[in-house]
Amino acid sequence: MSTPSRQIGWSNESNLLSYINKQLERLLQVLGAALKTQPTFGSISLASASYTLTTNGIYTVTTGGSNSLIFPDPTKMIGETITVINTAASTIPVNTTNAPLQRGTASTKYTTLAANSYYIFSSNGINWRGGALS
């Protein structure tokens, strides 16, 4: 729904209602983008091969190993989110090519993801950024 532009002679109340309406429209746009459904990928095993994360989504690693998770190129996924749930009993290696930057750092990449942990990463068009949720 589009909000009509403010008109000369509108009361303060009408102007305020128009402003609130525009803010609500913007909020709905932002929420709509944030709440879009993500595909889910479960039961990922790193015991016999590395696993490439190919798209935005929720990835559940159930079996660790010496093979690694490989993140996609963040420049091709601007604004997309990848969630990794590690239910494995061990840390899992992360391939450092497109690995996310650790929270609060400008260049330190994740090399592992902790056992029994939950991570959310978003692409800013240059890097994957994010970290573990507690």
Listing DSSP states for 11-25 in one string gives -HHHHHHHHHHHHHH
The pLDDT, as a whole number, for residue 35 is: 60
Strands 92-93 and 81-86: unpaired
Distance, CA of 17 to CA of 45 (rounded, Å): 54
The pLDDT, as a whole number, for residue 20 is: 83
- In this structure, are residues 72 and 99 in contact, taking their beta carbons and an 8 Å threshold? no
Amino acid at position 122, single letter: S
Amino acid at position 130, single letter: G
Distance, CA of 92 to CA of 15 (rounded, Å): 55
The pLDDT, as a whole number, for residue 34 is: 58
The pLDDT, as a whole number, for residue 31 is: 65
**CA atoms within 13 Å, Cβ hemisphere of 83:** 13
**Report field, pTM of the whole predicted structure over 0.75:** no
The pLDDT, as a whole number, for residue 44 is: 92
Which residues share a beta bridge with 109? 101
Sign of CA dihedral 31, 99, 48, 53: positive
pLDDT of the chain along its 134 residues, tens only?
455 665 677 788 878 888 888 887 777 776 666 566 677 877 899 999 999 999 999 999 999 999 999 999 999 999 999 999 999 989 999 999 999 999 888 899 999 999 999 999 999 999 999 999 86
Structure tokens at 86: 């590690």
Structure tokens at 19: 């402003």
